[in-house]
Amino acid sequence: MTIRFENGIVATLGQNNRVLWNGSVVTDGEQITAVGDSAKMKERFPDAEMVDCTGKLILPGFICTHHHFYSSMARGMAIPGEPASNFVEILERLWWKLDKALSAEDITLSAQVPLIECIRNGTTTVIDHHASPSMRDGSLDLIEEAVRQAGIRASLCYEVSDRNVPGGGIAENERFIKKVGKGDGQIAAMMGLHASFTVSDETVETCVGIAKDAGVGCHVHVAEDAADRKDSLAKYGVPTVERLHKLNVTGEKSIFVHCVHIDDSEMQILADTGTSVVHNPESNMNNAVGVTKLLELLRKGVLVGLGTDGMSSDMLAQMRCAYLLHRLDNRDPRVAFVEAPRLLLQNNAAICERQFSLRLGEIAQGRPADLAIIDYRPPTPLSEANFLGHLIFGLVDATVDTTVCKGKILMKNKKVLSLDEERIAARSRELAARMWQRL
Ligand SMILES: [Zn+2]
Q: Render pLDDT for 263-296 as a digit per residue (tens, 0 to 9).
A: 999 999 999 999 999 999 999 999 999 999 999 9
Backbone angles phi, psi at 356, to 5 degrees: -110, -5
Residue 439 within any structural domain of the chain: no
Check whether residue 48 and residue 115 sit in a common domain: no
Check whether residue 126 and residue 182 sit in a common domain: yes
Q: Strand (E) positions, 130-248?
A: 153-156, 187-189, 191-195, 218-222
pLDDT digits (tens, 9 = 90+) for 159-200: 999 999 999 999 999 999 999 998 999 999 999 999 999 999
Check whether residue 259 and residue 337 sit in a common domain: yes
C-alpha of residue 222 to centroid of ligand 1, in Å: 10
C-alpha of residue 327 to centroid of ligand 1, in Å: 24
Number of domains in the chain: 2
Q: Give residue 19's pLDDT.
A: 98
Q: Give residue 185's pLDDT.
A: 96
Q: Give residue 78's pLDDT.
A: 87
CATH of the domain at 216: 3.20.20.140
C-alpha of residue 157 to centroid of ligand 1, in Å: 12
C-alpha of residue 210 to centroid of ligand 1, in Å: 22
C-alpha of residue 17 to centroid of ligand 1, in Å: 31
Residue 352 pLDDT class (50, 70, 90 cuts): very high
C-alpha of residue 280 to centroid of ligand 1, in Å: 8
Q: Give residue 79's pLDDT.
A: 84
Q: Give residue 176's pLDDT.
A: 98
Residue 429 within any structural domain of the chain: no
* Residue whose C-alpha is closest to residue 363's, from 1, 35, 64, 52: 35
C-alpha of residue 67 to centroid of ligand 1, in Å: 6
Check whether residue 153 and residue 214 sit in a common domain: yes
Residue 236 pLDDT class (50, 70, 90 cuts): very high
Check whether residue 285 and residue 253 sit in a common domain: yes
Residue 280 within any structural domain of the chain: yes
C-alpha of residue 160 to centroid of ligand 1, in Å: 13
C-alpha of residue 373 to centroid of ligand 1, in Å: 28
Residue 437 within any structural domain of the chain: no
- Residue 312 vs residues 123, 217, 290, 405, 438: alpha-carbon distances, Å: 11, 24, 20, 19, 24
Check whether residue 237 and residue 217 sit in a common domain: yes
Q: Give residue 81's pLDDT.
A: 86
Check whether residue 121 and residue 228 sit in a common domain: yes
- Residue 266 vs residues 155, 246, 258, 281, 340: alpha-carbon distances, Å: 26, 12, 13, 20, 22
Residue 349 pLDDT class (50, 70, 90 cuts): very high
Of 74-88, 146-160, 320-334, the range with the lowest mean pLDDT is: 74-88
Residue 17 identity? N
Provide, rounded to the nearest whole percent, the portion of the chain with pLDDT above 70: 100
Residues 6+ apart with CB under 8 A from 157: 128, 129, 130, 140, 173, 176, 189, 190, 191, 192, 219
Pairing of strands 187-189, 191-195: unpaired
Mean pLDDT of the chain: 97
CATH of the domain at 8: 2.30.40.10
Backbone angles phi, psi at 63, to 5 degrees: -125, 135
C-alpha of residue 257 to centroid of ligand 1, in Å: 7
Q: Give residue 80's pLDDT.
A: 81
C-alpha of residue 28 to centroid of ligand 1, in Å: 36
C-alpha of residue 91 to centroid of ligand 1, in Å: 11
C-alpha of residue 331 to centroid of ligand 1, in Å: 27
**How many Cα atoms sit within 13 Å of 276 on the Cβ side?**
27
Residue 248 within any structural domain of the chain: yes
Check whether residue 255 and residue 369 sit in a common domain: no
C-alpha of residue 427 to centroid of ligand 1, in Å: 25
Residue 434 within any structural domain of the chain: no
Residue 128 within any structural domain of the chain: yes
C-alpha of residue 276 to centroid of ligand 1, in Å: 14
C-alpha of residue 200 to centroid of ligand 1, in Å: 19
Residues 6+ apart with CB under 8 A from 61: 122, 123, 124, 125, 152, 360, 370, 371, 372, 403, 404, 405
CA 439 to chain centre: 28
Check whether residue 49 and residue 82 sit in a common domain: no
C-alpha of residue 66 to centroid of ligand 1, in Å: 6
Mean pLDDT, residues 132-160? 98
Helix, strand or coil for residue 213?
helix
Question: Which domain does 371 fall in, by range?
Answer: 2-61+362-416
Check whether residue 391 and residue 332 sit in a common domain: no
Check whether residue 368 and residue 313 sit in a common domain: no
C-alpha of residue 366 to centroid of ligand 1, in Å: 33
Check whether residue 15 and residue 40 sit in a common domain: yes
C-alpha of residue 94 to centroid of ligand 1, in Å: 14
Residue 372 and residue 360 in contact, taking contact as beta carbons nearer than 8 Å? no
Residues 6+ apart with CB under 8 A from 206: 167, 170
Residue 32 within any structural domain of the chain: yes
DSSP state of 399: P
